[in-house]
Amino acid sequence: MVNEALQVERRGAIWVGEFRAMASPCEVHLELRSGKLAQQLLSMARMEALRIERLFSRYRDDNVIHRINEANGKPVTVDEETARMLDFADTCFHASDGLFDITSGVLREVWRFDGSDTIPTAAEVEPLLARIGWQRVTWEKPHICLPAGMQVDLGGIGKEYAVDRVLGLLRERSPGACLVNFGGDLHASGAPQSAGFWSVGIESHGSAGMATQSLQLQRGALTTSGDARRYLLRDGVRYSHVLNPKTGWPVVGAPAAVTVAGDTCIEAGIMSTLALLHGPDAESFLDSHELHYWVQR
Amino acid sequence: MSPFRQKLSAASCALLALAVNPAEAAQRDVASGGNETADWEVDTSYLSYREADQRVSVGKAVATLVREAEERSITVSAVHDTMSGASPTGALQSDSPASTVTTVSGGNSSNSLDYSTSEFSDTRRQLGLGIEQALSPDYTLSYGGVVSDESDYESLGVNISLARESANRLSTITGGIGWIDDSIYRSDTGGTPEPLGNVQQPRPFSKGERKTLDALLGLSRVLNRLTVVQLNLSLSASDGYHSDPYKIISAADANERIIANFHDSRPDSRLRGSVFGKLVHQLRDSLHSVHLSYRLYQDDWGISSHTADLRYRHRLNRQQYLEPHLRLYRQSAADFYQRSLSVDAGSNPVMPGDSLASADYRLDALSSTTVGLKYGIRFTPDAELRLRAEYLDQRFSTAIFDRNSALILQASFSLSF
Amino acid sequence: MSVFPSCQNRFTAVRCQTLLCRAISAACLLGLSACSLTQDIVQVSEVKPWQRGALARDDMQVINDAMEQAIDDHVYFSREGSTGGVVVQGGGCGCN
């Protein structure tokens, strides 16, 4: 293929496009006969993923996130799409009683989950708490005003949003079934005719020999949150990369991975993230919301 | 559903219900209208085929237009050939100075006895239509037709085939049949001469009609991620006029002095069968690929042949490739092939017992070697140019013209939009 | 919930290749029963036939240039005694 960034291959009746976006391997599966339509749709999917990455990446200095974070206490007017993201984050913050908070990113200044045993001290963590808390943010659509020193990070829902969004675009244009999988967060529009279902393997992060579980997905979203590969280990204590925005410390007793099914990727993503934040009570939290889930501890 | 999930669901609906944004609008142009999207591809090609010594030269222009949609693709093709030259008839060369028998170009029919070549000039037009229709995820039906017309030949062919992909998509089995109805005649007389009739007293024989039924059973299979193999079995049965109205066989004595010249005479049916195998393999860890094929052919005229074809596509980069090509072909002679008819002690031609005789060099034992090189360049994902040069060398066992060579040059351009 | 019928053993997991990626991979694997019970560091080593990446390329098609195929068939049809075998034949010609 001419475009090296997008690898397209045919697996039986399914066209699969692979590319990288949002620091993740991304896959789009389309059940289509026409290779040209597949090529067009896959390239459109990649462009949309990159567009959303540009929009919400905290590593760029030319997007709305940068403007909000660098406003130094001044109000910033945002576009409609960002406004809807902030609305969504606002709803999640209030509904989760503050557990889901897009301002908690500043904790990364002291918590670096690089596989080392470098644990910050309480004195280092404590001052950060004053810079965390969505309730301190003035959000009056379309104006947002962050107190100086605070930051927002939409990375926690950006990828899930991109998955839903790309699937929505594909669903309008593709006559066949589609599945979008960005770094393990996936959403399918319908079952492929050829097989009757999408086979989805839940990768095991447990000990050796643990079976990989398989699901037959017909439609809907699946997301997985976990800390299997991002944690700190010190004195035999495993520090999860899931940080409680209220305490500034990692959640104790969090599962290694939580996979949640939902109607959309953003909903499932919020639920799997919140489940992790509930630590040892992840299962009961998920049960209380009558969700289909798979927990690995 | 818990109140929490209801709130979440409502919020996600609000988020995802966002109207079209500018970036998306730009993309809409690319893939407008979902399954309404149709793709067009135009393939044009010009080929020049020139034999040494101005024997035969052919200019062939081909244009195909493909409309590919999700469930169906339609291919329309047009071919225009211009042919001219002096083709060997099979007759021995007379001792008298060469002058030729004129056919299509007409006019200067000569009383000379040299019938060894036949001058001709003709054009052929061919139109084809092919439709490929997906019946289900597994079955694809293809059907089409071809009409072809030149001053001494009309042909009408239809074909239909059904392909079934296995559930695991690793193998495809194809069955197809074709029906061809041909009319063959001399452009000067509008009919065919009586087989084995004396050339100087030609008697009309028939308007040459021939019907052919072709059947093909094919299996292609993915062996591994780098290799595909294909196996075809095909049979072809034809009935009707099979002689060549221009070909001539001489009766000559031991010194090759021509006693008389007779028209070509071949059986009125032919049954052909072949086994064709092909292997397509991508060289490990590279973008280069190899196409290797072999065909074993046999017919009830006594011709059996072996054809081996090897192409190696060397990708220079993502846009360009070079493809060397080698083709080797060898056939045995038809049972009724003779260089010339013998004569008895009284200088009377010895006519064959089964009344079949042809000196057409293409029915002689022969071997062909083709070497070629193709270069392809993709200017954009949708535009490709291909240039090809091939050299064909043929050696005949006993035919009067014991060698033929030809240079084939071809330029093709395809464009998708 | 009808979204997830019972799990069956007809699947293969495609492993995420990066350390950061989340825990799910998806693929449409069309009824191949090849269960991988591998550790995190063990990649699937067997080449699965469905990994047809290269095979989708133009130059890996059994007939990769139908027009050239037809032209060559025509050239050799008019210069040799045997023909056919590759595709169902089209129309003939009175080639001299």
Domains recognised in chain B with CATH numbers:
3-416 (2.40.160)
Q: Quick one: average pLDDT of A8-19?
A: 85
Helix (H, G, I), strand (E, B) or coil at B398: coil
- Select from C61, C80, C91 the Cβ nearest to the Cβ of B147: C91
Closest CA to B376 of B311, B313, B289: B313
Q: Residue A144 and residue A234: Cα distance in Å, rounded?
A: 39
Based on the domain organization, do A243 and A210 belong to the same domain?
A: yes
CB-neighbour burial class of residue B375 (10 A; exposed 0-12, middle 13-18, buried 19+): middle
- Select from C57, C65, C82 the Cβ nearest to the Cβ of B303: C82
Based on the domain organization, do A30 and A173 belong to the same domain?
A: yes
Closest CA to A69 of A56, A53, A87: A56
pLDDT-based confidence at residue B110 (cuts at 50, 70, 90) = very low
- Partner A contacted by B71 (CB < 8 A): yes
CA distances from A285 to A185, A261, C22 (A): 20, 14, 21
Q: Half-sphere exposure of residue A44, counting CA atoms within 13 Å on the CB side?
A: 29
Based on the domain organization, do A70 and A129 belong to the same domain?
A: yes
Q: Residue B356 and residue B263: Cα distance in Å, rounded?
A: 10
Q: Residue C86 and residue A44: Cα distance in Å, rounded?
A: 38
Q: What is the CATH number of the domain that holds A87?
A: 1.10.3980.10
- Select from B148, B313, B366 the Cβ nearest to the Cβ of C59: B313
Q: Please answer whether residues B231 and B247 qualify as being in contact, where contact means their C-beta atoms are separated by less than 8 angstroms.
A: no
- Partner A contacted by C44 (CB < 8 A): no
Q: Quick one: which H or E segment has residue B227? A: strand B227-240
Q: Which residues 241-270 on chain B approach chain C with CB closer than 8 angstroms?
A: 246
pLDDT-based confidence at residue B24 (cuts at 50, 70, 90) = very low
pLDDT tens track for B182-217: 999 988 888 899 999 998 887 888 888 999 999 999
Residue with more model confidence, A83 or C24: A83
pLDDT > 70 fraction of chain B, expressed in percent and rounded: 89
N-terminal to C-terminal alpha carbon distance within chain C: 72
Beta strands in B91-203 (DSSP E): 101-102, 117-134, 139-150, 153-165, 171-184, 192-193
Strand partners, A225: A258
Highest mean pLDDT among B14-28, B44-58, B81-95, C56-70: B44-58
pLDDT tens track for A150-169: 999 888 889 999 999 999 88
Q: Quick one: which H or E segment has residue B16? A: helix B3-16
- Select from A188, A216, A223 the Cβ nearest to the Cβ of C7: A216
What's the total number of domains in chain A? 3
CA distances from A182 to A39, A49, A120, A187, A224 (A): 18, 9, 32, 9, 11
Based on the domain organization, do A71 and A207 belong to the same domain?
A: no
- Count other Cβ atoms within 10 Å, centred on residue C81: 26
Q: What is the predicted pLDDT for the residue at C12?
A: 27
A175 and B70 within 8 Å at the Cβ level: the answer is yes
Give how far C90 is from chain A: nearest CA, Å. 26
Based on the domain organization, do A77 and A52 belong to the same domain?
A: no
Pairing of the two strands A198-202 and A231-234: unpaired
A129 secondary structure, DSSP code: G
B272 and C54 within 8 Å at the Cβ level: the answer is no
Q: Which site among C14, C15, C28, C47 would you substitute to test the A interface, given the most A Cβ atoms closer than 10 Å to its Cβ?
A: C28
B198 secondary structure, DSSP code: B
Give how far B58 is from chain C: nearest CA, Å. 10
B8 and A87 within 8 Å at the Cβ level: the answer is no
Question: Is A285 inside any structural domain?
Answer: yes
Q: Please answer whether residues A288 and A281 qualify as being in contact, where contact means their C-beta atoms are separated by less than 8 angstroms.
A: no
A44: closest chain B residue by CA: B27
pLDDT above 90 for B162: yes
CA A118 from centre of chain:
26
C37: closest chain A residue by CA: A211
Residues of B in contact with A291 (CB under 8 A): 5
pLDDT tens track for A82-120: 998 999 999 999 988 899 999 988 888 888 777 677 788
Based on the domain organization, do A66 and A204 belong to the same domain?
A: no
Q: Quick one: average pLDDT of A211-233?
A: 73
- Chains with ≥3 Cβ pairs under 8 A against C? A, B
Q: Residue A245 and residue B59: Cα distance in Å, rounded?
A: 78
Q: Residue A196 and residue A171: Cα distance in Å, rounded?
A: 18
Q: What is the predicted pLDDT for the residue at C89?
A: 67
pLDDT tens track for B290-335: 999 999 999 999 999 999 999 999 989 878 999 999 999 999 999 9
Q: Please answer whether residues B112 and B96 qualify as being in contact, where contact means their C-beta atoms are separated by less than 8 angstroms.
A: yes
Give how far A222 is from chain C: nearest CA, Å. 8
B126: closest chain C residue by CA: C91
C52 and A226 within 8 Å at the Cβ level: the answer is no
- Range scoring the smallest mean pLDDT among B24-28, B83-87, C53-57: B24-28
Q: Quick one: average pLDDT of B5-28?
A: 67
Helix (H, G, I), strand (E, B) or coil at A87: helix
C62 and B226 within 8 Å at the Cβ level: the answer is no
CA A269 from centre of chain:
6
Q: Residue B152 and residue B187: Cα distance in Å, rounded?
A: 5
Query: In this structure, what token pair is assigned to residue B298?
Result: 């046999």
Q: How much is the mean pLDDT over chain B?
A: 86
Residue with more model confidence, B64 or A229: B64
Give how far C6 is from chain B: nearest CA, Å. 22
Q: Please answer whether residues A41 and A16 qualify as being in contact, where contact means their C-beta atoms are separated by less than 8 angstroms.
A: no
Q: Which amino acid is it at A223?
A: T
- Partner A contacted by B201 (CB < 8 A): no
pLDDT-based confidence at residue A212 (cuts at 50, 70, 90) = low
Q: Which site among B291, B311, B328, B390 would you substitute to test the C interface, given the most C Cβ atoms closer than 10 Å to its Cβ?
A: B291
Question: Is A2 inside any structural domain?
Answer: no
Cβ–Cβ pairs < 8 A, chains A and C: 163
A34 and B11 within 8 Å at the Cβ level: the answer is no
N-terminal to C-terminal alpha carbon distance within chain B: 49
- Partner B contacted by A37 (CB < 8 A): yes
- Partner A contacted by B11 (CB < 8 A): yes
Q: Which residues 122-181 on chain B approach chain C with CB closer than 8 angstroms?
A: 124, 126, 128, 146-148, 150, 152-153, 155-157, 159, 161, 167-170, 176-178, 180
pLDDT above 60 for B19: no
Helices vs strands, H then E, count in chain B:
2, 21
Cβ–Cβ pairs < 8 A, chains A and B: 111
The ipTM is 0.85
Q: Please answer whether residues A208 and A243 qualify as being in contact, where contact means their C-beta atoms are separated by less than 8 angstroms.
A: no
Based on the domain organization, do A144 and A208 belong to the same domain?
A: no
CB-neighbour burial class of residue C6 (10 A; exposed 0-12, middle 13-18, buried 19+): exposed
Q: Half-sphere exposure of residue A201, counting CA atoms within 13 Å on the CB side?
A: 24
Q: Quick one: which H or E segment has residue A24? A: strand A24-31
Q: What is the predicted pLDDT for the residue at A204?
A: 63
C91 and B155 within 8 Å at the Cβ level: the answer is yes
Q: What is the CATH number of the domain that holds A287?
A: 3.10.520.10
B414 secondary structure, DSSP code: E
Residues of C in contact with A202 (CB under 8 A): 13, 23-24
B358 secondary structure, DSSP code: B
Based on the domain organization, do A205 and A239 belong to the same domain?
A: yes
Based on the domain organization, do A138 and A268 belong to the same domain?
A: no
pLDDT tens track for B36-48: 445 788 999 999 9
Maximum CA extent, chain B:
115
Based on the domain organization, do A138 and A185 belong to the same domain?
A: no
Residues in chain B: 417
pLDDT-based confidence at residue C29 (cuts at 50, 70, 90) = very low
Residue ranges of chain C whose CB lies within 8 Å of a chain B CB? 30-32, 47-55, 57, 59-62, 64-65, 67-68, 70-71, 74-76, 79-96
Which residue's structure tokens are 């001299």?
C96
Q: Residue B291 and residue B279: Cα distance in Å, rounded?
A: 6
Based on the domain organization, do A210 and A181 belong to the same domain?
A: no
Q: Quick one: average pLDDT of A198-206?
A: 69
Last residue of a domain, one of A121, A153, A185: A153
Q: Residue B210 and residue B238: Cα distance in Å, rounded?
A: 7
Residue A111 CB contacts under 8 Å (≥ 6 apart), including other chains: A120, A232, A241, A243, A250
Q: Residue B229 and residue A229: Cα distance in Å, rounded?
A: 43
Based on the domain organization, do A17 and A31 belong to the same domain?
A: yes
Q: Which site among C3, C17, C37 would you substitute to test the A interface, given the most A Cβ atoms closer than 10 Å to its Cβ?
A: C3
Q: What is the predicted pLDDT for the residue at C15?
A: 29
Query: In this structure, what token pair is assigned to residue A210?
Result: 């643990």
Q: Residue B291 and residue A98: Cα distance in Å, rounded?
A: 64
B226 secondary structure, DSSP code: T
Question: Is A20 inside any structural domain?
Answer: yes
- Partner C contacted by B204 (CB < 8 A): no
Q: Please answer whether residues A233 and A240 qualify as being in contact, where contact means their C-beta atoms are separated by less than 8 angstroms.
A: no
Q: Quick one: which H or E segment has residue A285? A: helix A282-288
pLDDT-based confidence at residue A229 (cuts at 50, 70, 90) = low
Closest CA to A26 of A16, A36, A14: A16
Q: What is the predicted pLDDT for the residue at B331?
A: 97
A205 phi and psi, to 5 degrees?
A: -105, 5
Q: Which site among B55, B154, B216, B367 would you substitute to test the C interface, given the most C Cβ atoms closer than 10 Å to its Cβ?
A: B216
pLDDT tens track for A231-276: 666 777 767 777 888 888 888 888 888 889 988 999 999 999 999 8
pLDDT-based confidence at residue C51 (cuts at 50, 70, 90) = very low
The parent domain of residue A32 ranges over 7-57+159-195
pLDDT above 70 for B109: no
Highest mean pLDDT among A78-82, B90-94, B305-309: B305-309
Helix (H, G, I), strand (E, B) or coil at B34: helix
A243 secondary structure, DSSP code: B
Q: What is the predicted pLDDT for the residue at C33?
A: 26
Q: What is the predicted pLDDT for the residue at A115?
A: 67
pLDDT tens track for B31-74: 433 334 457 889 999 999 999 988 899 999 999 999 887 778 89
Q: Residue C8 and residue A12: Cα distance in Å, rounded?
A: 20
CA distances from A6 to A21, A170, B24, C13 (A): 11, 16, 18, 22
CA dihedral C6, C7, C9, C14 (to 10 degrees): 150
Last residue of a domain, one of A195, A223, A254: A195
Q: Please answer whether residues A226 and A264 qualify as being in contact, where contact means their C-beta atoms are separated by less than 8 angstroms.
A: no
Maximum CA extent, chain C:
72
- Count other Cβ atoms within 10 Å, centred on residue C23: 26
Q: Please answer whether residues C62 and B219 qualify as being in contact, where contact means their C-beta atoms are separated by less than 8 angstroms.
A: no
Q: Quick one: average pLDDT of A35-56?
A: 89
Strand partners, A11: A14
Q: What is the predicted pLDDT for the residue at A42?
A: 92
Q: Please answer whether residues B331 and C80 qualify as being in contact, where contact means their C-beta atoms are separated by less than 8 angstroms.
A: yes
- Chains with ≥3 Cβ pairs under 8 A against B? A, C
